[in-house]
């Protein structure tokens, strides 16, 4: 059983995420944190928010545990800053104006729609070649009901919002430990 991350470990991972983004604008190389906990394979998402508006500025992740957590954070941070197709690439002048949020995921498990717990579960879906993912905090931040969460998941996947009711719709849920800076480069808290 893979354990939870504590605040000190999360601070190191968020620092790694920020340094990974800064690496694009410097000659330096990022140093990964040491220890077995940082070598566990985990799915992660790195979310960037403008400060102080908290507007989304980028969010990309690796949903399945395919990399050690430190490497996954490194890759997800870079992708969130420079490869999220919804936003222009992050500029060097923006680095100190963003808040980083890190979601460390559990392994996705197939589920039925009535097994979803708002505020606890994130969702993934697959249907005829389309897929989508919503982190657990999305439902609470936008005060969604279970049905609204499912509809939003379908839309995120590029599908009509009622697709979750169709045969062949594969639904999975997962949980996440969510850590965020309160201000750019500031104190890290668990949400």
CATH 3.30.70.3450 applies to domain 7-106+176-190: no
pLDDT at position 1 is: 42
Helices (H) and strands (E) in the chain, counts: 4, 9
Write down how long the chain is.
Answer: 191
Report how far apart the first and last C-alpha atoms of the chain are (Å, whole number): 22
| CATH T-level topology, domain 109-174 | Dna Ligase; domain 1 (3.30.1490)
Look at residue 73 in the predicted model and tell me its pLDDT. 98
Going by C-alpha positions, the residue among 11, 67, 14, 77 that lies closest to residue 42 is 67
Residue 65: Cβ within 10 Å count: 18
pLDDT tens digits, one per residue of 101-113 = 999 999 999 999 9
Q: What values do phi and psi take at 75, rounded to 5?
A: -65, -45
Within 8 A by CB and 6+ apart from 73, the residues are 13, 16, 17, 20, 44, 46, 102
In whole angstroms, what is the distance from residue 164 CA to residue 149 CA? 10
Q: What is the pLDDT of residue 28?
A: 86
pLDDT digits (tens, 9 = 90+) for 155-172: 999 999 999 999 999 999
Domain ranges across the chain:
7-106+176-190, 109-174
pLDDT (0 to 100) of residue 2: 64
Q: Which residues of the chain have pLDDT under 50?
A: 1
Comparing CA positions, the residue from 22, 2, 133, 118 lying closest to residue 68 is: 2
DSSP state of 108: P
Q: Edge to edge, what strands does the sheet with 109-110 contain?
A: 109-110, 170-174, 122-127, 130-134
Helix (H) or strand (E) holding 138: helix 136-141
């Amino acid at each position: 059983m893979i354990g939870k991350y504590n605040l000190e470990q999360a601070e190191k991972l968020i620092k790694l995420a920020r340094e990974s983004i800064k690496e694009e604008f410097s000659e330096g190389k990022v140093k990964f944190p040491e220890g077995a906990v940082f070598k566990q394979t985990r799915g992660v998402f790195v979310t960037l928010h403008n400060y102080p508006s908290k507007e989304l500025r980028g969010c990309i992740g690796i949903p399945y545990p395919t990399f050690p957590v430190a490497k996954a954070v490194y890759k997800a941070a870079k992708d969130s800053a420079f490869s999220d197709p919804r936003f222009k690439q992050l500029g060097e002048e923006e680095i100190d104006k963003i808040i980083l949020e890190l979601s460390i995921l559990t392994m996705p498990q197939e589920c039925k729609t009535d097994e979803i717990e708002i505020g606890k579960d994130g969702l993934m879906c697959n249907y005829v070649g389309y897929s989508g993912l919503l982190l657990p905090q999305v439902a609470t931040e936008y005060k969604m009901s279970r049905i609204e969460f499912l509809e939003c998941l379908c839309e995120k996947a590029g599908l009509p919002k009622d697709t979750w009711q169709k045969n062949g719709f594969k639904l999975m849920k997962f949980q996440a430990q969510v850590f965020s800076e309160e201000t750019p480069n500031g104190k890290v808290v668990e949400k």
